[in-house]
Amino acid sequence: MSTNFDIVLPDAKAFAEKVALAQAEEAARAAKFKKEAEAEKQALLDVYGKPSGVSDEEGIRRALKIIERGVSAGVTEVRFYRFPNALCTDRGRAINNNEKGWENTLTGVPKEIYQLWHKYFRDKGYKLRVEIVEFPNGMPGDVGMTLKWG
d(CA 82, CA 136): 15
Domain ranges of the chain: 4-48, 56-148
* Phi and psi torsions of 74, nearest 5°: 80, 25
Q: Answer yes or no: are the C-beta atoms of 48 and 108 closer than 8 Å.
A: yes
Q: What is the pLDDT of residues 111-134, one digit of tens each?
A: 999 999 999 999 999 999 999 999
Q: Answer yes or no: are the C-beta atoms of 116 and 59 closer than 8 Å.
A: yes
d(CA 143, CA 133): 6
Q: What is the pLDDT of residues 2-29, one digit of tens each?
A: 567 777 788 889 889 999 999 999 988 9
